[in-house]
Structure 1
Amino acid sequence: MIRPAEFIHPEDAAALSQLESIPGFPALVKKILSLGLEQFAYGINMASTIRLSPNQLPRLYNHLPPICRKLGIDEPEFYLQMDPNPNAYTFGDTKIYITVTSGLIELLGDGEELDAVIAHECGHILCRHVLYHSIADYILRGADGLGILGALTVPIQYAILYWQRKSELSCDRVGSIITSPEVVARTMGRLSGGPKSITAEISMAEWAKQADIYDSIRNDGLWNKALQIYAVALQNHPFCAVRVREIIKWGESGQYKNLMRNLHLNESGTVCPRCHKPVDKDWAFCKHCGMKL
Protein backbone atom coordinates (compact mmCIF):
# COMPACT_ATOMS: atom_id res chain seq x y z
CA MET A 1 0.00 0.00 0.00
CA ILE A 2 1.25 3.48 -0.90
CA ARG A 3 0.94 6.23 1.71
CA PRO A 4 0.52 9.90 0.72
CA ALA A 5 3.37 10.88 3.05
CA GLU A 6 5.72 8.98 0.73
CA PHE A 7 5.05 11.23 -2.27
CA ILE A 8 2.95 14.28 -1.38
CA HIS A 9 4.23 17.47 -2.98
CA PRO A 10 5.40 19.90 -0.27
CA GLU A 11 3.52 22.80 -1.87
CA ASP A 12 0.32 20.73 -1.74
CA ALA A 13 0.78 20.00 1.98
CA ALA A 14 1.59 23.64 2.78
CA ALA A 15 -1.36 25.02 0.78
CA LEU A 16 -3.80 22.58 2.39
CA SER A 17 -2.63 23.51 5.87
CA GLN A 18 -3.04 27.18 5.01
CA LEU A 19 -6.51 26.59 3.56
CA GLU A 20 -7.81 24.70 6.59
CA SER A 21 -6.57 27.44 8.92
CA ILE A 22 -8.68 30.16 7.25
CA PRO A 23 -11.47 31.40 9.57
CA GLY A 24 -14.83 30.41 8.18
CA PHE A 25 -13.61 27.58 5.95
CA PRO A 26 -14.97 24.71 8.10
CA ALA A 27 -18.35 26.46 8.24
CA LEU A 28 -18.36 26.86 4.45
CA VAL A 29 -17.64 23.16 3.95
CA LYS A 30 -20.44 22.21 6.35
CA LYS A 31 -22.88 24.55 4.63
CA ILE A 32 -22.14 23.25 1.14
CA LEU A 33 -22.50 19.62 2.26
CA SER A 34 -25.85 20.41 3.90
CA LEU A 35 -27.29 21.52 0.54
CA GLY A 36 -27.25 18.02 -0.92
CA LEU A 37 -25.30 19.13 -3.99
CA GLU A 38 -23.32 15.88 -4.08
CA GLN A 39 -26.45 13.79 -4.64
CA PHE A 40 -27.65 16.34 -7.21
CA ALA A 41 -24.42 16.03 -9.23
CA TYR A 42 -24.30 12.25 -8.81
CA GLY A 43 -27.82 11.87 -10.18
CA ILE A 44 -27.08 13.99 -13.24
CA ASN A 45 -23.88 12.05 -13.91
CA MET A 46 -25.69 8.71 -13.56
CA ALA A 47 -28.38 9.75 -16.04
CA SER A 48 -26.22 11.47 -18.65
CA THR A 49 -22.97 9.46 -18.89
CA ILE A 50 -22.08 5.80 -19.46
CA ARG A 51 -20.98 3.82 -16.41
CA LEU A 52 -18.07 1.53 -17.29
CA SER A 53 -17.93 -1.99 -15.87
CA PRO A 54 -16.82 -5.53 -16.73
CA ASN A 55 -19.99 -5.71 -18.84
CA GLN A 56 -19.95 -2.17 -20.26
CA LEU A 57 -17.00 -1.20 -22.45
CA PRO A 58 -14.68 -3.53 -20.51
CA ARG A 59 -11.61 -2.56 -22.52
CA LEU A 60 -11.78 0.92 -20.98
CA TYR A 61 -13.00 -0.23 -17.59
CA ASN A 62 -10.16 -2.74 -17.17
CA HIS A 63 -7.64 0.09 -16.82
CA LEU A 64 -9.06 0.99 -13.40
CA PRO A 65 -8.99 -2.11 -11.12
CA PRO A 66 -5.24 -2.86 -11.25
CA ILE A 67 -4.43 0.79 -10.53
CA CYS A 68 -6.72 0.76 -7.48
CA ARG A 69 -5.20 -2.49 -6.24
CA LYS A 70 -1.67 -1.12 -6.52
CA LEU A 71 -2.61 2.09 -4.72
CA GLY A 72 -4.59 0.24 -2.05
CA ILE A 73 -7.84 2.21 -2.52
CA ASP A 74 -11.44 1.13 -2.97
CA GLU A 75 -12.51 1.15 -6.58
CA PRO A 76 -14.58 4.24 -7.45
CA GLU A 77 -17.38 4.23 -10.00
CA PHE A 78 -16.07 4.93 -13.49
CA TYR A 79 -17.88 6.85 -16.25
CA LEU A 80 -17.44 7.88 -19.88
CA GLN A 81 -18.78 11.27 -20.98
CA MET A 82 -19.33 12.47 -24.53
CA ASP A 83 -17.22 15.61 -24.73
CA PRO A 84 -14.69 16.44 -27.48
CA ASN A 85 -12.52 18.28 -24.94
CA PRO A 86 -9.95 15.93 -23.39
CA ASN A 87 -10.63 15.86 -19.67
CA ALA A 88 -10.93 13.66 -16.59
CA TYR A 89 -12.22 14.50 -13.13
CA THR A 90 -13.01 12.91 -9.78
CA PHE A 91 -16.05 14.01 -7.85
CA GLY A 92 -18.04 13.27 -4.72
CA ASP A 93 -17.64 12.58 -1.03
CA THR A 94 -19.76 9.64 0.07
CA LYS A 95 -20.02 8.37 -3.52
CA ILE A 96 -16.78 9.02 -5.37
CA TYR A 97 -16.62 8.58 -9.13
CA ILE A 98 -14.14 9.20 -11.93
CA THR A 99 -15.28 10.48 -15.32
CA VAL A 100 -13.21 10.54 -18.50
CA THR A 101 -14.30 12.21 -21.71
CA SER A 102 -14.47 10.80 -25.22
CA GLY A 103 -12.03 13.53 -26.27
CA LEU A 104 -9.47 12.22 -23.80
CA ILE A 105 -9.78 8.66 -25.11
CA GLU A 106 -9.47 9.80 -28.71
CA LEU A 107 -6.39 11.88 -27.91
CA LEU A 108 -4.53 9.36 -25.74
CA GLY A 109 -5.81 5.98 -26.90
CA ASP A 110 -6.16 3.23 -24.32
CA GLY A 111 -2.52 2.60 -23.42
CA GLU A 112 -0.20 3.74 -20.64
CA GLU A 113 -0.96 7.43 -21.14
CA LEU A 114 -4.58 6.73 -20.24
CA ASP A 115 -3.28 4.76 -17.24
CA ALA A 116 -1.33 7.85 -16.17
CA VAL A 117 -4.49 9.98 -16.26
CA ILE A 118 -6.61 7.42 -14.40
CA ALA A 119 -3.86 6.98 -11.80
CA HIS A 120 -3.73 10.76 -11.41
CA GLU A 121 -7.46 10.80 -10.67
CA CYS A 122 -7.08 7.89 -8.24
CA GLY A 123 -4.35 9.93 -6.59
CA HIS A 124 -6.98 12.48 -5.57
CA ILE A 125 -8.81 9.66 -3.77
CA LEU A 126 -5.64 8.35 -2.13
CA CYS A 127 -4.69 11.84 -0.93
CA ARG A 128 -8.26 12.59 0.25
CA HIS A 129 -8.50 15.58 -2.08
CA VAL A 130 -11.94 14.78 -3.45
CA LEU A 131 -14.15 16.55 -0.90
CA TYR A 132 -12.35 19.87 -1.24
CA HIS A 133 -12.07 19.47 -5.01
CA SER A 134 -15.82 18.98 -5.20
CA ILE A 135 -16.35 22.11 -3.11
CA ALA A 136 -14.03 24.01 -5.46
CA ASP A 137 -16.18 22.80 -8.34
CA TYR A 138 -19.33 24.12 -6.65
CA ILE A 139 -17.58 27.48 -6.28
CA LEU A 140 -16.58 27.58 -9.95
CA ARG A 141 -20.10 26.65 -11.03
CA GLY A 142 -21.47 29.66 -9.16
CA ALA A 143 -22.36 28.43 -5.70
CA ASP A 144 -22.61 32.12 -4.70
CA GLY A 145 -25.89 32.14 -6.55
CA LEU A 146 -27.20 29.77 -3.89
CA GLY A 147 -26.55 32.36 -1.22
CA ILE A 148 -23.68 30.59 0.52
CA LEU A 149 -20.86 32.76 -0.78
CA GLY A 150 -20.39 36.47 -0.69
CA ALA A 151 -17.74 39.13 -0.67
CA LEU A 152 -16.49 37.97 2.73
CA THR A 153 -15.71 34.47 1.43
CA VAL A 154 -13.79 35.55 -1.68
CA PRO A 155 -10.44 34.84 0.07
CA ILE A 156 -11.62 31.27 0.64
CA GLN A 157 -12.40 30.90 -3.06
CA TYR A 158 -8.89 31.98 -4.03
CA ALA A 159 -7.29 29.87 -1.30
CA ILE A 160 -9.12 26.69 -2.29
CA LEU A 161 -8.22 27.18 -5.96
CA TYR A 162 -4.60 27.84 -5.03
CA TRP A 163 -4.54 24.60 -3.05
CA GLN A 164 -6.29 22.77 -5.89
CA ARG A 165 -3.51 23.77 -8.30
CA LYS A 166 -0.87 22.48 -5.88
CA SER A 167 -2.76 19.24 -5.28
CA GLU A 168 -2.45 18.40 -8.98
CA LEU A 169 1.33 18.19 -8.52
CA SER A 170 0.91 15.42 -5.95
CA CYS A 171 -1.38 13.46 -8.25
CA ASP A 172 1.02 13.80 -11.17
CA ARG A 173 3.39 11.90 -8.88
CA VAL A 174 0.80 9.15 -8.45
CA GLY A 175 0.54 8.91 -12.23
CA SER A 176 4.33 8.51 -12.29
CA ILE A 177 4.22 5.75 -9.67
CA ILE A 178 1.78 3.73 -11.76
CA THR A 179 3.48 4.46 -15.10
CA SER A 180 6.62 6.64 -15.07
CA PRO A 181 7.59 10.34 -15.03
CA GLU A 182 8.29 10.05 -18.77
CA VAL A 183 4.77 8.82 -19.48
CA VAL A 184 3.21 11.58 -17.38
CA ALA A 185 5.30 14.22 -19.18
CA ARG A 186 4.35 12.69 -22.52
CA THR A 187 0.68 12.86 -21.52
CA MET A 188 1.09 16.56 -20.72
CA GLY A 189 2.57 16.95 -24.21
CA ARG A 190 -0.54 15.43 -25.77
CA LEU A 191 -2.83 17.66 -23.72
CA SER A 192 -0.86 20.79 -24.62
CA GLY A 193 0.21 20.16 -28.19
CA GLY A 194 -2.10 17.61 -29.74
CA PRO A 195 -2.06 13.94 -30.78
CA LYS A 196 0.94 11.65 -30.98
CA SER A 197 1.29 12.26 -34.73
CA ILE A 198 2.25 15.86 -33.88
CA THR A 199 3.85 15.64 -30.43
CA ALA A 200 5.74 12.32 -30.46
CA GLU A 201 9.12 14.00 -30.72
CA ILE A 202 8.70 16.72 -28.09
CA SER A 203 11.88 17.33 -26.08
CA MET A 204 10.64 17.31 -22.51
CA ALA A 205 13.87 18.88 -21.25
CA GLU A 206 13.40 21.83 -23.62
CA TRP A 207 9.77 22.16 -22.63
CA ALA A 208 10.67 22.13 -18.92
CA LYS A 209 13.03 25.06 -19.58
CA GLN A 210 9.99 27.09 -20.60
CA ALA A 211 8.82 26.82 -16.99
CA ASP A 212 12.10 28.39 -15.89
CA ILE A 213 11.60 31.24 -18.37
CA TYR A 214 8.05 31.64 -17.06
CA ASP A 215 9.41 31.92 -13.50
CA SER A 216 11.84 34.63 -14.58
CA ILE A 217 8.98 36.57 -16.19
CA ARG A 218 6.78 36.12 -13.13
CA ASN A 219 9.51 37.29 -10.76
CA ASP A 220 10.58 40.30 -12.84
CA GLY A 221 9.22 43.02 -10.56
CA LEU A 222 6.03 43.46 -8.54
CA TRP A 223 3.87 44.40 -11.54
CA ASN A 224 4.76 41.30 -13.56
CA LYS A 225 4.26 39.14 -10.48
CA ALA A 226 0.84 40.68 -9.88
CA LEU A 227 -0.16 40.07 -13.50
CA GLN A 228 0.85 36.42 -13.34
CA ILE A 229 -0.95 35.92 -10.03
CA TYR A 230 -4.06 37.38 -11.67
CA ALA A 231 -3.61 35.07 -14.68
CA VAL A 232 -3.77 31.90 -12.56
CA ALA A 233 -6.02 33.02 -9.69
CA LEU A 234 -9.16 31.32 -11.02
CA GLN A 235 -7.44 28.30 -12.58
CA ASN A 236 -7.72 24.90 -10.94
CA HIS A 237 -4.66 23.37 -12.66
CA PRO A 238 -1.06 24.58 -12.95
CA PHE A 239 0.40 25.38 -16.35
CA CYS A 240 1.54 22.26 -18.17
CA ALA A 241 5.17 23.37 -18.58
CA VAL A 242 5.39 23.76 -14.79
CA ARG A 243 3.88 20.31 -14.26
CA VAL A 244 6.36 18.75 -16.67
CA ARG A 245 9.31 20.40 -14.97
CA GLU A 246 8.08 19.27 -11.56
CA ILE A 247 7.52 15.66 -12.56
CA ILE A 248 10.87 15.37 -14.37
CA LYS A 249 12.61 16.79 -11.30
CA TRP A 250 10.79 14.36 -8.99
CA GLY A 251 11.60 11.41 -11.24
CA GLU A 252 15.29 12.16 -10.69
CA SER A 253 14.92 12.45 -6.90
CA GLY A 254 15.94 9.95 -4.26
CA GLN A 255 12.39 10.01 -2.90
CA TYR A 256 10.96 8.67 -6.15
CA LYS A 257 13.70 6.08 -6.63
CA ASN A 258 13.38 4.80 -3.06
CA LEU A 259 9.60 4.65 -3.32
CA MET A 260 9.72 2.62 -6.53
CA ARG A 261 12.37 0.32 -5.05
CA ASN A 262 10.22 -0.30 -1.98
CA LEU A 263 7.15 -0.93 -4.14
CA HIS A 264 9.10 -3.49 -6.12
CA LEU A 265 10.22 -5.17 -2.90
CA ASN A 266 6.68 -5.07 -1.55
CA GLU A 267 5.32 -6.75 -4.66
CA SER A 268 7.97 -9.44 -4.33
CA GLY A 269 7.04 -9.99 -0.68
CA THR A 270 10.27 -8.73 0.87
CA VAL A 271 8.95 -5.64 2.68
CA CYS A 272 7.57 -5.45 6.22
CA PRO A 273 3.78 -4.90 6.00
CA ARG A 274 3.89 -2.52 8.99
CA CYS A 275 6.90 -0.25 8.47
CA HIS A 276 7.34 -0.93 4.72
CA LYS A 277 11.08 -1.38 5.07
CA PRO A 278 13.00 -4.17 3.29
CA VAL A 279 13.31 -7.41 5.22
CA ASP A 280 15.22 -10.64 4.71
CA LYS A 281 13.13 -13.70 3.89
CA ASP A 282 14.85 -15.58 6.71
CA TRP A 283 13.80 -13.12 9.42
CA ALA A 284 11.10 -14.25 11.87
CA PHE A 285 10.64 -10.64 13.04
CA CYS A 286 11.23 -7.31 11.33
CA LYS A 287 14.46 -5.87 12.71
CA HIS A 288 13.17 -2.36 12.00
CA CYS A 289 9.87 -2.39 13.92
CA GLY A 290 9.68 -5.84 15.57
CA MET A 291 6.59 -7.09 13.76
CA LYS A 292 6.26 -10.85 13.39
CA LEU A 293 6.69 -11.81 9.76
Structure 2
Amino acid sequence: MLNKEKYIHKLEEQSFEEMINSSYFSESIMNYYKNFEEKMRKPDLLGKTVKVSKKQFPDINICVCDICKRIGIESPEVYIYEDFYYGVESKGSDKPWIEISAKTVEDFSIEELKFLIAREICSINLKHTYYKTLIDQTLNTMEESNFVIGIDTFTKTIKASVYKWYRIINYTCDNFGYLMCNDLKTCINAILKTILNSSFLVENINLSEYLNQSIEINKLNDTVYNFTKADEKVPYGPFRIKNLLAFSSSKRAIEVIKEEI
Protein backbone atom coordinates (compact mmCIF):
# COMPACT_ATOMS: atom_id res chain seq x y z
CA MET A 1 0.00 0.00 0.00
CA LEU A 2 1.29 3.46 -0.94
CA ASN A 3 2.05 5.55 2.15
CA LYS A 4 1.34 9.28 1.96
CA GLU A 5 4.91 10.05 3.01
CA LYS A 6 5.95 8.90 -0.45
CA TYR A 7 4.23 11.83 -2.17
CA ILE A 8 2.92 14.44 0.28
CA HIS A 9 4.39 17.93 -0.17
CA LYS A 10 6.82 18.80 2.61
CA LEU A 11 4.86 21.95 3.58
CA GLU A 12 1.37 20.45 3.58
CA GLU A 13 1.05 19.50 7.24
CA GLN A 14 2.59 22.78 8.41
CA SER A 15 0.29 24.87 6.20
CA PHE A 16 -2.72 22.87 7.41
CA GLU A 17 -1.88 23.60 11.05
CA GLU A 18 -1.40 27.30 10.27
CA MET A 19 -4.77 27.39 8.53
CA ILE A 20 -6.66 25.58 11.30
CA ASN A 21 -5.06 27.76 13.97
CA SER A 22 -5.94 30.97 12.10
CA SER A 23 -9.69 30.52 12.47
CA TYR A 24 -12.60 28.43 13.70
CA PHE A 25 -14.24 26.26 11.06
CA SER A 26 -17.69 25.32 12.27
CA GLU A 27 -18.73 21.67 12.29
CA SER A 28 -22.33 22.82 12.83
CA ILE A 29 -22.18 24.44 9.39
CA MET A 30 -20.81 21.17 8.04
CA ASN A 31 -23.72 19.28 9.59
CA TYR A 32 -26.13 21.59 7.80
CA TYR A 33 -24.30 20.93 4.53
CA LYS A 34 -24.44 17.14 5.05
CA ASN A 35 -28.12 17.08 5.97
CA PHE A 36 -29.41 19.56 3.42
CA GLU A 37 -27.15 20.81 0.63
CA GLU A 38 -25.40 17.50 0.00
CA LYS A 39 -28.69 15.62 0.01
CA MET A 40 -30.19 18.16 -2.38
CA ARG A 41 -27.32 17.54 -4.78
CA LYS A 42 -27.84 13.77 -5.00
CA PRO A 43 -31.05 13.73 -7.11
CA ASP A 44 -29.46 16.18 -9.58
CA LEU A 45 -26.41 13.95 -9.95
CA LEU A 46 -28.53 10.90 -10.66
CA GLY A 47 -31.01 12.78 -12.84
CA LYS A 48 -28.77 15.12 -14.85
CA THR A 49 -25.46 13.25 -15.24
CA VAL A 50 -24.20 9.78 -16.19
CA LYS A 51 -22.94 7.60 -13.34
CA VAL A 52 -19.76 5.69 -14.16
CA SER A 53 -20.06 1.92 -13.83
CA LYS A 54 -18.86 -1.32 -15.40
CA LYS A 55 -21.28 -0.69 -18.27
CA GLN A 56 -21.08 3.11 -18.50
CA PHE A 57 -17.61 4.51 -19.21
CA PRO A 58 -15.99 1.18 -18.22
CA ASP A 59 -12.45 2.47 -18.87
CA ILE A 60 -12.93 5.19 -16.29
CA ASN A 61 -14.49 2.71 -13.88
CA ILE A 62 -11.46 0.41 -14.18
CA CYS A 63 -9.13 3.36 -13.69
CA VAL A 64 -10.88 4.45 -10.48
CA CYS A 65 -10.98 0.92 -9.07
CA ASP A 66 -7.29 0.30 -9.82
CA ILE A 67 -6.13 3.50 -8.13
CA CYS A 68 -8.30 2.94 -5.05
CA LYS A 69 -7.09 -0.64 -4.76
CA ARG A 70 -3.47 0.57 -4.66
CA ILE A 71 -4.13 2.74 -1.62
CA GLY A 72 -6.73 0.53 0.02
CA ILE A 73 -9.84 2.71 -0.05
CA GLU A 74 -13.39 2.26 -1.31
CA SER A 75 -13.99 3.57 -4.83
CA PRO A 76 -15.97 6.83 -4.87
CA GLU A 77 -18.95 7.31 -7.15
CA VAL A 78 -18.07 9.15 -10.36
CA TYR A 79 -20.44 11.22 -12.51
CA ILE A 80 -20.00 12.63 -16.03
CA TYR A 81 -21.74 15.96 -16.69
CA GLU A 82 -22.03 18.18 -19.76
CA ASP A 83 -19.88 21.32 -19.84
CA PHE A 84 -17.73 23.40 -22.19
CA TYR A 85 -14.78 23.38 -19.80
CA TYR A 86 -12.27 20.77 -18.69
CA GLY A 87 -12.82 19.69 -15.13
CA VAL A 88 -12.38 16.81 -12.69
CA GLU A 89 -13.32 17.59 -9.11
CA SER A 90 -14.08 15.69 -5.91
CA LYS A 91 -16.95 17.04 -3.82
CA GLY A 92 -18.82 16.18 -0.65
CA SER A 93 -18.07 15.43 2.98
CA ASP A 94 -17.95 11.99 4.60
CA LYS A 95 -18.61 10.09 1.38
CA PRO A 96 -17.22 12.25 -1.43
CA TRP A 97 -17.81 11.70 -5.12
CA ILE A 98 -16.02 12.82 -8.30
CA GLU A 99 -17.51 14.90 -11.11
CA ILE A 100 -15.92 14.91 -14.60
CA SER A 101 -16.99 17.11 -17.49
CA ALA A 102 -17.86 15.36 -20.75
CA LYS A 103 -15.44 17.66 -22.58
CA THR A 104 -12.61 16.26 -20.44
CA VAL A 105 -13.59 12.66 -21.21
CA GLU A 106 -13.82 13.50 -24.91
CA ASP A 107 -10.52 15.39 -25.29
CA PHE A 108 -8.20 13.64 -22.83
CA SER A 109 -6.50 10.29 -23.29
CA ILE A 110 -7.34 7.61 -20.72
CA GLU A 111 -3.87 8.05 -19.20
CA GLU A 112 -4.37 11.81 -18.88
CA LEU A 113 -7.73 11.12 -17.27
CA LYS A 114 -6.03 8.68 -14.92
CA PHE A 115 -3.73 11.45 -13.71
CA LEU A 116 -6.64 13.82 -13.06
CA ILE A 117 -8.76 11.15 -11.40
CA ALA A 118 -5.81 10.08 -9.24
CA ARG A 119 -5.45 13.67 -8.04
CA GLU A 120 -9.04 13.68 -6.80
CA ILE A 121 -8.76 10.25 -5.21
CA CYS A 122 -5.71 11.58 -3.39
CA SER A 123 -7.80 14.52 -2.18
CA ILE A 124 -10.48 12.17 -0.91
CA ASN A 125 -7.98 9.87 0.79
CA LEU A 126 -6.11 12.66 2.58
CA LYS A 127 -9.39 14.42 3.48
CA HIS A 128 -8.56 17.48 1.39
CA THR A 129 -12.06 17.24 -0.08
CA TYR A 130 -13.68 17.12 3.35
CA TYR A 131 -11.78 20.13 4.65
CA LYS A 132 -12.25 22.12 1.45
CA THR A 133 -16.00 21.59 1.80
CA LEU A 134 -15.90 22.57 5.49
CA ILE A 135 -13.82 25.67 4.74
CA ASP A 136 -15.88 26.77 1.74
CA GLN A 137 -19.14 26.41 3.67
CA THR A 138 -17.71 28.37 6.62
CA LEU A 139 -16.35 31.16 4.41
CA ASN A 140 -19.62 31.41 2.52
CA THR A 141 -21.47 31.82 5.81
CA MET A 142 -19.02 34.50 6.93
CA GLU A 143 -19.36 36.42 3.68
CA GLU A 144 -23.14 36.34 3.98
CA SER A 145 -22.77 37.87 7.47
CA ASN A 146 -21.58 41.18 6.01
CA PHE A 147 -23.63 43.11 8.57
CA VAL A 148 -21.08 42.13 11.23
CA ILE A 149 -18.49 44.89 11.64
CA GLY A 150 -15.01 43.80 10.55
CA ILE A 151 -16.12 40.48 9.05
CA ASP A 152 -14.79 41.42 5.60
CA THR A 153 -11.26 42.06 6.92
CA PHE A 154 -11.41 38.92 9.06
CA THR A 155 -12.49 36.79 6.08
CA LYS A 156 -9.65 38.13 3.92
CA THR A 157 -7.14 37.24 6.66
CA ILE A 158 -8.47 33.69 6.84
CA LYS A 159 -8.39 33.31 3.06
CA ALA A 160 -4.66 34.02 2.97
CA SER A 161 -3.84 30.89 5.00
CA VAL A 162 -6.61 28.83 3.37
CA TYR A 163 -5.47 29.58 -0.17
CA LYS A 164 -1.86 28.83 0.76
CA TRP A 165 -2.98 25.37 1.91
CA TYR A 166 -5.06 24.94 -1.25
CA ARG A 167 -2.01 25.64 -3.43
CA ILE A 168 0.21 23.24 -1.50
CA ILE A 169 -2.26 20.35 -1.59
CA ASN A 170 -2.36 20.74 -5.37
CA TYR A 171 1.34 19.87 -5.43
CA THR A 172 0.67 16.80 -3.27
CA CYS A 173 -2.09 15.65 -5.62
CA ASP A 174 0.10 16.20 -8.68
CA ASN A 175 2.79 14.05 -7.06
CA PHE A 176 0.31 11.26 -6.38
CA GLY A 177 -1.08 11.49 -9.90
CA TYR A 178 2.41 11.07 -11.32
CA LEU A 179 3.01 7.93 -9.25
CA MET A 180 -0.23 6.44 -10.57
CA CYS A 181 0.64 7.24 -14.21
CA ASN A 182 4.44 6.95 -14.24
CA ASP A 183 4.56 9.08 -17.38
CA LEU A 184 5.80 12.64 -16.98
CA LYS A 185 4.70 13.85 -20.42
CA THR A 186 1.16 12.60 -19.84
CA CYS A 187 0.96 14.37 -16.48
CA ILE A 188 2.31 17.63 -17.89
CA ASN A 189 -0.12 17.54 -20.80
CA ALA A 190 -3.03 16.95 -18.42
CA ILE A 191 -1.97 19.87 -16.22
CA LEU A 192 -1.58 22.20 -19.19
CA LYS A 193 -4.90 21.24 -20.73
CA THR A 194 -6.83 21.85 -17.51
CA ILE A 195 -5.12 25.19 -16.90
CA LEU A 196 -5.42 26.52 -20.45
CA ASN A 197 -8.69 24.73 -21.29
CA SER A 198 -7.39 24.27 -24.84
CA SER A 199 -5.68 21.36 -26.56
CA PHE A 200 -4.67 23.80 -29.31
CA LEU A 201 -2.68 25.98 -26.91
CA VAL A 202 -0.98 22.94 -25.39
CA GLU A 203 0.09 21.70 -28.81
CA ASN A 204 1.80 25.04 -29.47
CA ILE A 205 3.68 25.38 -26.19
CA ASN A 206 7.44 25.33 -25.95
CA LEU A 207 7.82 23.86 -22.47
CA SER A 208 11.14 25.54 -21.73
CA GLU A 209 9.75 28.96 -22.66
CA TYR A 210 6.58 28.30 -20.71
CA LEU A 211 8.50 27.36 -17.55
CA ASN A 212 10.51 30.58 -17.86
CA GLN A 213 7.27 32.46 -17.26
CA SER A 214 7.68 31.48 -13.60
CA ILE A 215 10.76 33.71 -13.46
CA GLU A 216 8.70 36.64 -14.70
CA ILE A 217 5.99 35.89 -12.14
CA ASN A 218 8.54 35.93 -9.31
CA LYS A 219 9.83 39.31 -10.48
CA LEU A 220 6.39 40.82 -9.91
CA ASN A 221 6.96 41.86 -6.33
CA ASP A 222 4.94 44.61 -4.72
CA THR A 223 1.80 44.78 -2.58
CA VAL A 224 -0.67 44.46 -5.45
CA TYR A 225 1.27 41.73 -7.28
CA ASN A 226 1.74 39.70 -4.11
CA PHE A 227 -1.92 40.04 -3.14
CA THR A 228 -2.95 38.79 -6.58
CA LYS A 229 -0.61 35.79 -6.35
CA ALA A 230 -1.75 34.94 -2.82
CA ASP A 231 -5.39 35.08 -3.95
CA GLU A 232 -4.97 32.00 -6.18
CA LYS A 233 -6.36 28.65 -5.00
CA VAL A 234 -4.39 26.68 -7.60
CA PRO A 235 -0.67 27.28 -8.26
CA TYR A 236 0.22 28.85 -11.60
CA GLY A 237 0.95 26.31 -14.34
CA PRO A 238 4.72 26.83 -14.57
CA PHE A 239 5.09 26.27 -10.82
CA ARG A 240 3.05 23.07 -10.91
CA ILE A 241 5.14 21.63 -13.70
CA LYS A 242 8.40 22.63 -12.01
CA ASN A 243 7.23 20.90 -8.83
CA LEU A 244 6.34 17.78 -10.80
CA LEU A 245 9.71 17.72 -12.57
CA ALA A 246 11.49 17.99 -9.23
CA PHE A 247 9.34 15.30 -7.63
CA SER A 248 9.72 12.85 -10.52
CA SER A 249 13.49 12.89 -10.08
CA SER A 250 13.36 12.71 -6.26
CA LYS A 251 14.52 9.69 -4.27
CA ARG A 252 11.06 8.87 -2.91
CA ALA A 253 9.41 8.96 -6.36
CA ILE A 254 12.11 6.80 -7.90
CA GLU A 255 11.76 4.26 -5.07
CA VAL A 256 7.99 3.97 -5.63
CA ILE A 257 8.40 3.58 -9.39
CA LYS A 258 11.06 0.88 -8.89
CA GLU A 259 8.75 -1.05 -6.56
CA GLU A 260 6.10 -1.08 -9.28
CA ILE A 261 8.42 -2.54 -11.93
CA distance in 1, matches of 2:145, 2:96: 26
Report what 2:77 is aligned to: 77
SS at match of 2:26: helix
1:216-236 CA distances to partner (integer Å, 9 max, x unpaired)?
x13xxxxx3422332134432
CA distance in 1, matches of 2:238, 2:162: 22
SS at match of 2:232: coil
Query: Per-residue deviation at 1:238?
Result: 1.0
Change (3 A) 1:189 1:67: same
Contact 1:209/1:245 (8 A) holds in 2: no
Contact 2:34/2:93 (8 A) holds in 1: no
CA distance in 2, matches of 1:188, 1:38: 34
CA distance in 1, matches of 2:216, 2:143: 39
Query: Per-residue deviation at 1:194?
Result: 5.3
Report what 1:227 is aligned to: 224
Change (3 A) 1:196 1:154: closer
Query: Per-residue deviation at 1:32?
Result: 2.0
2:207 to 204, 212, 222: 204
Contact 1:53/1:61 (8 A) holds in 2: yes
CA distance in 1, matches of 2:113, 2:39: 23
Equivalent residue letter for 1:250? F
1:251 to 248, 251, 255: 248
Are 1:239 and 2:242 counterparts?
A: no
CA distance in 2, matches of 1:38, 1:202: 46
TM-score by length of 2: 0.85
Query: Per-residue deviation at 1:11?
Result: 2.6
Q: Which stretches of structure 1, 4 residues or more, deviate above 4 A after TM superposition?
A: 145-149, 193-198
Are 1:138 and 2:137 counterparts?
A: yes
Bigger Rg, which one:
1
CA distance in 1, matches of 2:70, 2:207: 27
What stretches of structure 1 of length at least 5 have no aligned partner? Answer: 219-223, 265-293
1:17-38 CA distances to partner (integer Å, 9 max, x unpaired)?
211222x42xx23232132356
Give the structure with the higher percent helix: 2
Report what 1:185 is aligned to: 188
CA distance in 2, matches of 1:100, 1:77: 11
SS at match of 1:190: helix
Equivalent residue letter for 1:230? F
- Higher RCO (CA-CA < 8 Å; seq separation 6+): 2
How do 1:27-46 and structure 2 match up within 5 A? 28-37=25-34, 39-46=36-43
CA distance in 2, matches of 1:43, 1:3: 35
1:72-130 CA distances to partner (integer Å, 9 max, x unpaired)?
22211111121111111111221210111112223314x21111100111111222211
Count of aligned positions: 253
How do 1:13-28 and structure 2 match up within 5 A? 13-22=13-22, 24-25=23-24, 28=25
How do 1:39-188 and structure 2 match up within 5 A? 39-47=36-44, 48-109=48-109, 111-138=110-137, 142-144=140-142, 147=145, 150-151=151-152, 152-179=154-181, 180-188=183-191
Change (3 A) 1:46 1:137: farther
CA distance in 1, matches of 2:103, 2:35: 25
Query: Per-residue deviation at 1:196?
Result: 4.4
SS at match of 2:100: strand
CA distance in 1, matches of 2:205, 2:83: 26
Root mean square deviation of aligned Cα: 2.5
Contact 2:77/2:97 (8 A) holds in 1: yes
